[in-house]
Amino acid sequence: MIYADYNATAPLRPEARDAMIAALEVGANPSSVHGPGRAARKVLETARRQVASAISGIPQDLVFTSGGTEAIALAIHGVVRQLEGNCTLLVSAIEHEAAAQNAGYSGAPVQTVYVSSAGQIDLDDLSNRLNSWDHERHGTPILVLMVANNETGVIQPVSEASAMVREAGGLVICDGVQGLGKISLNVSLLGADYVALSAHKAGGPQGAGALWIRSGAPLRASLFGGGQERSLRSGTENLAGIAGFGAAAEAAVGDLVEFESLAAYRDAMEARLKSEAGVTVFGEEAPRLANTSNFALCDFRAETQVMAMDLAGIAVSSGSACSSGKVKRSLVLSAMGADDALAESAIRTSFGWKSTQQDFELTADAWLKALAQRKAKETA
């Protein structure tokens, strides 16, 4: 099996597995003050330092959560509550459902910020909104923007957008889930006030994530209880999961140069598919994650492709693979201006730390074979 769905979940790194097993051996609550509890606390704080280092942050600004979705939810609901609803959320049209839906349920007004056909946020649209911003009417502007899109891999100009929002007296919530371990992340350079992270996208376990919070940024807790994580996220921490998170983050950042080399294999695969089949590659005009390709051939339905590739022993996805178990039309591609027929024909490949050049080549072979079989059936 060739696994080409890293943007949904990356395989567990051996460093993460080892750290998790060691943490399970500790067998104590990190909030306890006895010896075993202090040992558990040491594991927790080691992981906090590892994750913070991976984003060039400081450990005390990091709060652990159960995953990226909870981290995003904590940021959105926490800031809206702290501002007592006197704010408006500016959500880019290509945000993950974790951001878009939490924004919708936050109780605050939501405006959609447009994106270009290349899949990047339209900075002119954002600038126009902010230049005419009525603070009395709309309150504090809060931009919700991802570092990189999970479907297309397109990298967003977060630093530029953040500077605009800050000048307008606003705040920025950044979904950094797809960026960790794939591009160099520096929270200071991003300029965001909140950055959400997830372990399992970087080769850690599912069930662990984090929210980096700029010192002094407004935030109110959403979950109450024992006061863990600076009283911002109560509940006994998932020690083994967090230990795996820290180890994976450290290993992923150490592999960045090797990860970036995947772009050459990806580009060669796309060139072949365009040459031999005439596919459309989404977001190729913009900077992209090195591992990600989203392409379509009109009227070759996505679910047919996903099933054919699965039968060929290659795992790919369509749309946002982590949103549900269903294959559905991509709202991201629609926001980029793709017509329904093309959007319904798009699939995504995303490779990672275990991938080889041959994986890309065999993926192209399998897809072209599936297309040939489809054409043969149509003419039979």
- Give catalytic status of residue 322 as yes or no: yes
Buried/exposed 63-72: b ≥16 CB within 10 Å, e otherwise: bbbbbbbbbb
pLDDT at 330: 87
The radius of gyration of the chain's CA atoms, rounded to the nearest angstrom, is 21
Q: Where are the domains of the chain?
A: 2-10+257-379, 14-254
pLDDT tens, position by position, 22-40: 999 999 999 999 999 999 9
CATH number of 14-254: 3.40.640.10
With contact defined as beta carbons under 8 Å apart, do 222 and 65 qualify?
Answer: no
| pLDDT tens profile 232-273 | 999 999 999 999 999 999 999 999 999 999 999 999 999 999
Contacts of 14 (CB under 8 A, 6+ apart): none
Q: Please name the residue that has the structure tokens 């890293």.
A: 6
pLDDT tens readout for residues 341-380: 999 999 999 999 999 999 999 999 999 999 999 998 888 7
- pLDDT, one tens digit per residue, over 131-141 is 999 999 999 99
Work out the mean pLDDT of the chain and round it to a whole number.
96
DSSP string, 32-71: --SHHHHHHHHHHHHHHHHHHHHTT--GGGEEEESSHHHH
Same fold, 2-10+257-379 and 14-254: no
With b for 16 or more beta-carbon neighbours within 10 A and e for fewer, the 292-318 pattern comes to bbbbbbbebbbeebbebbeebebbbbb
Give 105's contacts (C-beta < 8 A, 6+ positions apart). Answer: none
Q: Which residues contact 25 (CB under 8 A, 6 or more apart)?
A: none
Question: What pLDDT is recorded for position 246?
Answer: 98
In this prediction, residues 320-329 reach a mean pLDDT of 55
The answer to whether the CB of 73 falls within 8 A of the CB of 98 is yes
| Predicted pLDDT of residue 326 | 54
Average pLDDT over residues 295-309: 96
Predicted local confidence at residue 379, as pLDDT: 83
Express as a percent the part of the chain with pLDDT over 70. Answer: 97
Range of lowest pLDDT (12-21, 141-150, 186-195, 323-332): 323-332
- Is the pLDDT confidence value at 325 over 70? no
Active-site residue identified among 87, 174, 298, 322 = 322
Assess whether pLDDT exceeds 70 at residue 321: no
Check: CATH 3.50.50.60 for 2-10+257-379?
Answer: no
Q: Which amino acid is at 297?
A: L
pLDDT tens-digit series, residues 80-129: 999 999 999 999 999 999 999 999 999 999 999 999 999 999 999 999 99
How is residue 27 annotated by DSSP?
A: -
Helices 262-277 and 357-379, interaxial angle, to 10°?
20
Average pLDDT over residues 49-58: 98
Residue-wise pLDDT tens digits, 326-344: 556 789 999 999 999 999 9
Q: Report the pLDDT averaged over residues 301-316.
A: 97
